[in-house]
Amino acid sequence: MVKPKINILIVDDSSIMRHLIAHVLEENEDFLVVGTANNGKEAISQNRQLRPDVVLMDMNMGDYDGPFAVDQIMQSPWPVPIIILSALGNSDMGPILGALESGAYDYVNKSPSHNSDIKAIKVPLFEKIYAAKETDIATLLGNKDQKRNTAPHTFDQFLAYEVILLGASTGGPSAVESFISRVPENLPLPVIITQHMPASFVPSFAARLNEMNNKEVVLASSGTSLEKGKIYLLPGGHNTVLRKIGSEIKFRRSRRKFKAFNDPSIDGLFESAVNIFGAKCIGVLMTGMGRDGAEGMLKVKNAGGLTIAQSKETCVVYGMPKAANLAGAVQYNIKLREIPSFVISAIS
């Protein structure tokens, strides 16, 4: 039986870029470019007419840009997995993060010019297209809702845990935002987030998280001290771990490379936290490709800590949580929106 092709719509305001992307996709016999569009308005129309399996979407396209198109397509009767394919650079990443919040599947950093640059992203792009085709569109739509509830909570004087560790990859920005928007503003424990994303994304993502909660979100650069009640976001581009230096606990840049993923590594952060806090750790592993976090979660569990994985039905990509479950590292599989309340109950 002939394997059905993955039908792809390319949206970019550059005719040269549309041609280059199509040429790269045509190298894979599983892909079929069914159409192209040069702005968001055309993308909405083409999506309605062609019903592609996956859309590749640029962000900056004039009046009818990517964020507009993503929002309209995901609200239409014909929602589809959308991969943001844009030259990220080092500018404000707000539009891309906004598109992810509106239901876009994931992003790939597209270099702005040469054919060789486009070919350089072929492997991650192909990987994400295959995964996007298999994703449950209802999960993308369900993760859009970010109802904020950060009302203070009454905590016991003596707490069962001392640190909350979050790890996420594909689909993670929306999942992390969902968690942060639902934890009390007086949460007494530090929250440390390891999100797989380009280094240039991290400051904008931290700014968005600051809008979700009155708690301060701190970029955990090397030398930053860990303090109770703060939220920390690990930088991209290198691995960051915790080290106890005298009476203080600090974030330190690490040259060590881990098996599953690096720059930043979820396993690396979790392992270093266990070395300091032992059974007082809560490990939360969210949506994402691959198996980063599985070994770290197992270390948390074996030390006597609490391990929680995002449930399969609420994951954009059930990769990392699945790997952690197969490793025997997960004690509880919880729906995304229920994770904050579960964690708060466990703390007390």
Annotated domain spans of the chain: 6-137, 163-347
91 catalytic residue (yes or no): no
In terms of average pLDDT, the best of 124-128, 158-162, 189-193, 197-201 is 189-193
53 catalytic residue (yes or no): no
67: closest CA among 27, 110, 96? Answer: 96
153 catalytic residue (yes or no): no
Q: How far apart are CA 65 and CA 165, in angstroms?
A: 36
Reported as a pLDDT band with limits 50, 70 and 90, residue 66 is confident
- Greater confidence (60 vs 22) lies with 22
Q: What is the model's pLDDT at position 321?
A: 98
112: pLDDT strictly greater than 80: no
- Which candidate in 53, 196, 265, 272 is catalytic? 196
- The reply to whether domains 6-137 and 163-347 share a CATH topology is yes
pTM metric for this prediction: 0.88
User: In the structure encoding, which two tokens stand for residue 203, read together?
Assistant: 């400051």
250: closest CA among 218, 210, 223, 276? Answer: 223
Indicate the average pLDDT of the chain: 91
- Greater confidence (203 vs 251) lies with 251
Tally Cβ neighbours within 10 Å of residue 149.
10
* Span 201-216, average pLDDT: 87
Region of 335 please: left (phi>0), alpha (psi -120 to 50) or beta: beta
| Domain 6-137 grouped into CATH 3.40.50.720 | no
Domain 163-347 class in CATH = alpha beta
- Which candidate in 169, 254, 265, 272 is catalytic? 169
Can you tell me whether residue 253 is helix, strand or coil? strand
* 258 within 8 A of 267, measured Cβ to Cβ: yes
What is the four-CA torsion angle of 62, 65, 68, 74, rounded to 10 degrees? Answer: 160
Terminal CA-to-CA distance of the chain, rounded, Å?
56
Q: How far apart are CA 322 and CA 290, in angstroms?
A: 9
Handedness of CA 270, 170, 263, 224 (dihedral sign): negative
Give percent above pLDDT 90 in the chain: 71
Reported as a pLDDT band with limits 50, 70 and 90, residue 26 is very high
Crossing angle for the helix pair 66-75 and 94-101, nearest 10 degrees? 0
Can you tell me whether residue 141 is helix, strand or coil? helix
